Amino acid sequence: MASSSVLSDQQLDNLKLYKYSSIDRSLLSKYVLRHYWDLSVKFFPLNMAPNLITLTGLLFMIFNVGLVFIYTPTMEAVDAGPSWLYYSFALGLWLYSTFDNVDGRQARRTGTSSPLGELFDHGCDALNCSFAAIIQTSALGVGHTKQGVIIYAIATAGFYLSTIEEFHTGTLYLGYVNVPTEGVCLLCIMYILSGIYGPHIWQTPLNTMFDNLPSFLENMALNDIYIGFVAFMFIFTHIPVCFYAMYKACREKGKPFIRSMLWDNWPIVLYISAYYLWVTSPYSFILSHGHFALFLLAVGIVFGRICSKIILAHLTKSESPFPTGLLIPLVIGAIITNLPIYTSIEPIFTPESEYHFLVFYFFLALVLYLRWAVLVIDSICTYLGIRCLRIPEQHTKEH
């Protein structure tokens, strides 16, 4: 009875209309990695469910996040971990990417493709945004700084736009240069360099490497250039491409573009605004007391819930969903830490109380997200007559 309230009968019926559609323009995927993925899938047994492959890939990232908490909790270059730690980051990300590309091939190989597979795959990708940000921040050695804050903001905004674009167009579009392909390769190289030279290599000032630099570059380091490049690509390539695709989709369907964009994108604007205002407030202790990784885990689950609801709406041909109520504690945290700036109210948070609030927020988000995910998965599996992490006997022969 609980699961029946998660999805309506109409939404469940619409699952039968599901047809996966994607476009990958990456030349690296087309000419190199595609052959690697086609070969890799043959190493997975036919009785291993595609969703289990997806989940296993995510576990590599979770394992590396655990290593960050153990070996380099400050995520700063001065508190660098052993060399093998950064090599493990590269290996974990590469395996995650491999498993993420193999799961769909396994589904086609075993004849078990379903809308649940796309929900499970993209849902894990959404959760991985926070894991990847923690690992990336540690490998760059930027620690609890605004640079780390910006890295996560760009990652979530970019993923959200791709998700809402797919909701409108019905097709997952990956450009000639995209994060799941070229971005993963670049990060793996960066992690290996961090293992060879240490994460402090990214704090190297450009003026020690090059002469006659323009004045605005003299005081910048390698990590500034990297973050600036990522921001540039996001603003001038990703955003325009996503919005243009949504504009064409709205025009074809006769939907009002401006109204649709305002409704569909206000959740991510609220999410990133509250996230940034809270963590950068002078009355927040998240950065100063080393709680940024915990904070990312909490808000990362919230982000996963937001995006998963959009993916589910896409699969069930539903209207754009209202964002999760788990945004409320995030907004409350932003208000509490910013009220003293604009009013005469005394600061409410202390280092201890804010930490306890973050711990509570993390467990609240985790429990509610898992409960929702289990109910949705159970509802879809019951309706379609499938299993989430197992393949029925009749599908264990290669198609």
From 122, 168, 238, 395, the catalytic residue: 122
CA distance readout (Å), 237 to 13, 136, 151, 232: 37, 22, 17, 8
- In a 3-state reduction of DSSP, which class is residue 165? helix
Average pLDDT of span 43-65: 97
Indicate the pLDDT class of residue 256, thresholds 50, 70 and 90.
very high
Task: Count structural domains, the chain.
Answer: 1
- In a 3-state reduction of DSSP, which class is residue 356? helix
Task: Pull the structure tokens for residue 48.
Answer: 């291993």
- The rounded distance, in Å, linking the Cα atoms of 68 and 73 is 6
Residue 131 predicted with pLDDT over 50 = yes
- The rounded distance, in Å, linking the Cα atoms of 230 and 178 is 11
User: Which CATH number fits the domain that encloses residue 376?
Assistant: 1.20.120.1760
Q: Indicate whether 92 belongs to any domain.
A: yes
Indicate the pLDDT class of residue 392, thresholds 50, 70 and 90.
confident
CA distance readout (Å), 28 to 33, 182, 184: 6, 7, 11
**Residues 164 and 246 sit within 8 Å (Cβ to Cβ):** yes
User: What is the pLDDT, as a whole number, of residue 1?
Assistant: 39
272-330 residue pLDDT tens: 999 999 999 999 999 999 999 999 999 999 999 999 999 999 999 999 999 899 999 99
Q: Indicate whether 209 belongs to any domain.
A: no
Sequence-ordered alpha helix ranges (H) in the chain: 9-14, 27-28, 34-40, 50-71, 83-110, 115-140, 146-169, 184-197, 215-218, 222-233, 239-253, 257-280, 292-315, 327-342, 351-384
- In a 3-state reduction of DSSP, which class is residue 18? coil
| pLDDT cut 70: percent of the chain above it | 97
Q: Indicate whether 147 belongs to any domain.
A: yes
Q: Indicate whether 367 belongs to any domain.
A: yes
- Residue 173 carries which DSSP code? E
Q: Indicate whether 117 belongs to any domain.
A: yes
Q: Indicate whether 211 belongs to any domain.
A: no
Indicate the pLDDT class of residue 258, thresholds 50, 70 and 90.
very high
Task: Pull the structure tokens for residue 62.
Answer: 């979770």
Question: What global pTM score does this model have?
Answer: 0.95
Indicate the pLDDT class of residue 193, thresholds 50, 70 and 90.
very high
Backbone conformation region of residue 146, classed left if phi is above 0, alpha if psi is from -120 to 50, else beta: alpha
228 CB-near residues (< 8 Å, 6+ apart): 220
Residue 2 predicted with pLDDT over 50 = no
Strand partners, 142: 76
Indicate the pLDDT class of residue 3, thresholds 50, 70 and 90.
very low
User: What is the pLDDT, as a whole number, of residue 4?
Assistant: 45
122 is catalytic: yes
Q: Indicate whether 210 belongs to any domain.
A: no
397 or 200, greater pLDDT: 200
Residue 170 predicted with pLDDT over 90 = yes
- The rounded distance, in Å, linking the Cα atoms of 208 and 224 is 15
157-189 per-residue burial string, b: 16 or more CB within 10 A, e: under 16: bbbbbbbbbbbbbeebbbbebbbbbbbbeebbe
User: What is the pLDDT, as a whole number, of residue 216?
Assistant: 79
Could you tell me the residue range of the domain that residue 255 belongs to? 3-204+216-395
